[in-house]
A and B are shown apart, each in its own frame.
Chain A
Amino acid sequence: MSALLAGLDCTGETWSVALVRGSECLAECGGLNARAHLRWLFPALVDCASRSGVRLADLESVAVTSGPGSFTGLRLGIVTARTMAQVLGCPVRPVDTLEALAWNVPESPRVVAALDARRGEVFAACFQTGTGGCLRLTEDRAFTPEELAGALESWGGGVLVGSGAVRYSPVLEKVPGVRILPPVFAQIRASAVALAGQRQAPLNPLDLVPTYLRSAEVQLHGVRP
């Protein structure tokens, strides 16, 4: 039987957990309420296990979005995944948040995943998606909406997905060849995190580090490190 993986994401306004075996999602659960992430994340996973008749003790690994994203949500997901792995004696598989988001657009030569990073910025990267998964075309970085519009122009447009794309659509949709997907596609699915995780090398839970893309000192100095 294929390996059982858990997927976790709470790096944005939404949270999602899933159990995946091979290419199938056994159970998935989520919600839209950033204040309820802590309350529901782990209990929902327990619920997924009981509804799909599997034991969390049988997990082969835990896949989790490792950033970029909301700092607090990012840490919550990572600590939960690390602790699960510590108890179960299994590895973790970090998945880039923007890659997990790009999975929402199944077959496209150019998917631009863009998260609202607050402070007038978006975290974005460009991918090519196909049946085999997701191929990265650019590295994650922070853009102002205007900078991203410029980059989109040089890439020749693409399908835009994510909270950053939705928020800054007035600026971004002016770029020729750009299509912006509606908010429902901006919600990251934990099943995609687990499926993307299958392709990531397993890590010792203590070696998992978050991708913040921003210094902790932004809190003191305002925009940009």
Chain B
Amino acid sequence: MSHDRVEPYSPRLILGLESSCDETSVAVLEEGRICRVNLVSSQVALHEKYGGVVPEVACRAHMEVLNPLLQEALDQAGTRLADLDAVAVTHGPGLVGAVLLGVAAAKTLAGLLEIPLIGVNHLEGHLYSTFLEHSDVELPLVCLLVSGGHTQIVEMTTPGAYRVLGSTRDDAAGEAFDKVAKALGLGYPGGPRVEEAARRGDPSRLHLPRPMLEAGCEFSFSGLKTAVLVHLQSPDRVSVDDLCASFQEAVVDVLVTKTLRAARECRARTVAVAGGVAANSALRHRMEEACRKAGIPLRSPSMGLCTDNAAMIARAGWELARLGLRSPLTLDARPNLPLSSRI
């Protein structure tokens, strides 16, 4: 069991730890709203030469950075360890050797300081990231979680009650960006590189498939990626910029169409886009436009809170505390942890 039921509580100062992929992050959150500090140590430069995240390289970097970052976060927040009221930590999904380090540190802190330990699902963290900056998020919320590892549409009716409306059957959207970038020789990370090239290109130059556009909230991006690779072999290939623009347009079309359909079906009062790919400006603009037309407020986290960070983990932990959940010191790392409702 990853959680025990206890009397609901409301930790004043909550420490957040995140180490599920290639970012180590430590945050201190006050009263669930005030982010005293949110430090993120990114490994993007380390993995660039390999063209993707190498787990062993990632884990070594997490281990080096984690404890110094914790010290720096406390210093910057003007907090002592003894002032903390709870520790929230990502315990999955992610690279098991990386998740485990955050969990090891968190359970040691919680055990020695005698404060609650709260295991948080990484995706749950993304879901709550929007609440850190917006106090007017009305429920139900329909959130598109889109990153290098995940593509899901999730409905939240009350805090802790989630329903996954659909997810990808193969590649995540961010993964498709990375693979296309690699095939085009644009380097890593693929998202920003493709976006930059797309800005110079013409999205109507090449019509690429919009996979499963009519099929509910399920996604599939591997066919689209293959269509790009097949086009690269054709004699009348378009320029790299046009190809990137056409590819990005197809991905954005699918993401926006499905999110808005889900929002209408759930009678959502707010829409949000979270996760690393939410930093893509084409997606942001198109989603804004679509939400305005549909008359549903869009409340996405700002760029810095879209990518992996510990503030969102602390916020999710605060919500779980208010639902009366805490984790035992035997909490484990769960590399394939699914997002499931807490109530």
Chain A interface residues (CB < 8 Å from chain B): 38-43, 46, 56-57, 71-72, 75-76, 78-80, 82-84, 86-88, 205-206, 210, 212, 216-220
CB-contact partner of A56 in B60, B62, B107, B112, under 8 A: B112
Can you show 14 pairs from A to B with CB atoms below 8 A apart?
A38-B332, A39-B330, A42-B108, A42-B329, A71-B60, A72-B59, A76-B100, A78-B63, A79-B108, A206-B68, A210-B63, A217-B56, A219-B55, A219-B56
Q: Say whether A86 contacts B67, CB under 8 Å.
A: yes
Closest chain A CB from B227 CB (angstroms): 29
Q: Say whether B329 contacts A86, CB under 8 Å.
A: no
Any A CB within 8 A of the CB of B306: no
* Contact bitstring B289-315, A, C-beta under 8 A = 1, else 0: 000000000000000000000000000
Compute how far the CA of A88 lies from the CA of B105 in the bound complex, rounded to whole angstroms.
13
Any A CB within 8 A of the CB of B197: no
* Contact bitstring B91-126, A, C-beta under 8 A = 1, else 0: 000001100110111011101110000000000000
CB-contact partner of A72 in B100, B108, B111, under 8 A: B100
Any A CB within 8 A of the CB of B281: no
CB-contact partner of B107 in A42, A75, A219, under 8 A: A42
Any A CB within 8 A of the CB of B66: yes
Compute how far the CA of A39 lies from the CA of B62 in the bound complex, rounded to whole angstroms.
19
Q: Say whether A71 contacts B56, CB under 8 Å.
A: yes
Q: Say whether B59 contacts A75, CB under 8 Å.
A: yes
Compute how far the CA of A39 lies from the CA of B91 in the bound complex, rounded to whole angstroms.
12
CB-contact partner of A38 in B54, B59, B63, B103, under 8 A: B103
CB-contact partner of B67 in A72, A88, A206, under 8 A: A206
A80-B108 contact given A38-B332, A205-B67, CB 8 Å threshold: yes
Q: Say whether B70 contacts A79, CB under 8 Å.
A: no
Compute how far the CA of A42 lies from the CA of B329 in the bound complex, rounded to whole angstroms.
8
Any A CB within 8 A of the CB of B57: yes
Q: Say whether A87 contacts B67, CB under 8 Å.
A: no
* Contact bitstring B276-288, A, C-beta under 8 A = 1, else 0: 0000000000000
A75-B57 contact given A42-B111, A83-B108, A220-B50, CB 8 Å threshold: no
CB-contact partner of B332 in A39, A205, A217, A218, under 8 A: A39
Q: Say whether B81 contacts A87, CB under 8 Å.
A: yes
Q: Say whether A41 contacts B104, CB under 8 Å.
A: yes
Contacts of B272 in A (CB 8 A): none
Contacts of B54 in A (CB 8 A): 216-217, 219-220
Contacts of B63 in A (CB 8 A): 75, 78-79, 210
- A81 to B, closest residue via Cβ: B108
Q: Say whether A43 contacts B56, CB under 8 Å.
A: no
* Contact bitstring B315-330, A, C-beta under 8 A = 1, else 0: 0000000000000111
Compute how far the CA of A212 lies from the CA of B60 in the bound complex, rounded to whole angstroms.
10
Any A CB within 8 A of the CB of B333: yes
CB-contact partner of B101 in A43, A57, A75, A84, under 8 A: A75
Any A CB within 8 A of the CB of B158: no
Q: Say whether B56 contacts A83, CB under 8 Å.
A: no
Contacts of A212 in B (CB 8 A): 60
Closest chain B CB from A20 CB (angstroms): 19
Q: Say whether B111 contacts A82, CB under 8 Å.
A: no
Compute how far the CA of A75 lies from the CA of B112 in the bound complex, rounded to whole angstroms.
20
Closest chain B CB from A122 CB (angstroms): 20
Q: Say whether B113 contacts A87, CB under 8 Å.
A: yes
Q: Say whether A79 contacts B81, CB under 8 Å.
A: no
Contacts of B50 in A (CB 8 A): 220
Contacts of B71 in A (CB 8 A): 86, 206
A218-B108 contact given A76-B101, A210-B63, CB 8 Å threshold: no
Closest chain B CB from A117 CB (angstroms): 14
* Contact bitstring B250-267, A, C-beta under 8 A = 1, else 0: 000000000000000000
Contacts of A218 in B (CB 8 A): 56
Contacts of A219 in B (CB 8 A): 54-57
Q: Say whether A43 contacts B330, CB under 8 Å.
A: yes
Closest chain B CB from A225 CB (angstroms): 12
Contacts of A205 in B (CB 8 A): 67
Closest chain B CB from A68 CB (angstroms): 14
Closest chain A CB from B143 CB (angstroms): 30
Q: Say whether B104 contacts A38, CB under 8 Å.
A: yes
- B60 to A, closest residue via Cβ: A216
The 5 closest A-B pairs by CB, nearest first: A83-B108, A216-B56, A43-B329, A87-B112, A75-B63
Q: Say whether B68 contacts A83, CB under 8 Å.
A: no
Contacts of B100 in A (CB 8 A): 38, 72, 75-76
CB-contact partner of A40 in B59, B109, B330, under 8 A: B330
Compute how far the CA of A34 lies from the CA of B6 in the bound complex, rounded to whole angstroms.
31
- A47 to B, closest residue via Cβ: B329
A71-B59 contact given A43-B329, A206-B71, CB 8 Å threshold: yes
- B105 to A, closest residue via Cβ: A83
* Contact bitstring B127-143, A, C-beta under 8 A = 1, else 0: 00000000000000000
